Amino acid sequence: MSQSSIPLCNIRYCHRPPASWILAGFSLLEKDGLLKLGKVTCYDKFLADGLYQHNNIIEVSVDNKLIVFDYENGYQSFLSSELFDNQMDNVTALFKSNCNPQKYIGLRNQGKIHPFVAGTFTATCPDNPYDKIFADNYGFSRDGIVKFMYSVKHHKEYIRINDYRNTENLNHFDSYNLLFWTRLNEEVVTVQDIKNSYPFLDDEGAEKLSVECSAMLRDINLKRIEICSALKKEYGDRLIGGIADGDYARRNCPELITTDERITTRSRYLETMHSNIIGVISSGHQYCIGARFGELISSGKAIISDPFRYVLPGDFSEGKNYLSFASSDELCEKAEFLLSNPSTVNEMETVNSQYYHNFFEPRKCVLNALKTALPEYEIFNK
């Protein structure tokens, strides 16, 4: 049965950067007259209340339907498919970033899961509810009150710096440099760390996950060091970036730590992102799509990445939207190919800018999800 009215959306969300992108989408759609925001609540007890297996959730209630946006990196928290299936019984549709459809094969709620993509960095717009609920994000301690007052004082500047449109860009150039900027993480994930995050795990389960997470972080760090070393050796000054400063980097690869002034502040970084660069990214936590992906897509840039392990919505594919590599030698081959063929780079820039406007932009990524979850609302298809 079709609905000619405007849906009222009541939202609960966990206050983490990816939520800012999605809530910006809801705010923009409200300004467009496509929906109305009701109660928007900051909520961090999705896991504790047994509703989901982690807290990286946005829950949207419309009429008697429940729409969920899951922005967890990969599947570290996917510890029981049976529990997940039970939790999905009352959900109308779940939109999963870094989605692997193979995880849901055989589940009775398999058809409710949809690939999703959104920015992982803080990005906002005027009147974004993510920024309004300051009091919920700070405690009543002296430190919390000081931070709250500072945030209020600098709110306009915060909005200006983090406006999602700051990353939007599409410029073509005749020659290019490479951008690779990443950080390294401490590799030891203790059993207590795991128990703090997943209190329902027994000792054996926590020990197993501790070993797996530590090995994963070690592998990711080694790959990032290998990538940076190869690019720095091969391209020298044509490489912008390097490894961010940190204790782990100081101990293991101090020669790769970057002091590049072109990326030291947000404003300088955005200037660089809008310049003649090809972005190189590597898998993040849980082998999720690299964190710089969103900014590169928003800026309409060509991308070189290790193989994507997760599915994106829409027609996003290797060879068209990005080139992949499995080794440092192959990375340098792909980089050399693009650096030597600016017309190919220009083509990739165009298709990635189109992908941004069709699937990634805050308004669009939320609208696409609502069209899927609420097909009865005619207003989404006008």
How many Å apart are CA 112 and CA 103, to the nearest integer? Answer: 13
List pLDDT tens digits, range 180-204.
999 999 999 999 999 888 888 899 9
In this prediction, what percent of the chain has a pLDDT beyond 90?
74
How many Å apart are CA 241 and CA 250, to the nearest integer? Answer: 16
Cβ neighbours for 369, distance < 8 A, ≥ 6 positions apart: 67, 69, 93, 95, 114, 116
Phi-psi region of 54 (alpha: psi -120 to 50; beta: other; left: phi over 0): beta
User: Other C-beta atoms within 10 Å of 277: how many?
Assistant: 23
List pLDDT tens digits, range 234-248.
999 999 999 999 999
Residues 194 and 105 occupy one common structural domain: no
Count of domains in the chain?
Answer: 2
How many Å apart are CA 135 and CA 294, to the nearest integer? Answer: 29
Domain assignment present for residue 171? The answer is no
Domain assignment present for residue 51? The answer is yes
Residues 368 and 355 occupy one common structural domain: no
Domain that holds residue 142: 8-164+362-381
List pLDDT tens digits, range 55-74.
999 999 999 999 999 999 88
Sheet holding 8-13, edge to edge: 36-42, 8-13, 57-62, 65-70, 93-97, 113-116
Show the tokens assigned to 295. Answer: 């900014």
Distance in Å from the first CA to the final CA of the chain: 17
Residues 212 and 139 occupy one common structural domain: no
Alpha helices by DSSP H, listed for the chain, are: 17-31, 81-87, 129-132, 134-137, 142-153, 155-162, 191-197, 203-235, 247-252, 266-273, 293-298, 328-340, 342-355, 362-373
Residues 76 and 182 occupy one common structural domain: no
pLDDT given at position 1: 47
Residues 190 and 129 occupy one common structural domain: no
How many Å apart are CA 115 and CA 369, to the nearest integer? Answer: 9
Mean pLDDT of the chain: 91
Domain assignment present for residue 169? The answer is no
Domain assignment present for residue 194? The answer is yes
Average pLDDT over residues 74-78: 86
> With 90 as the cut, is the pLDDT of residue 267 above it?
no
pTM: 0.91
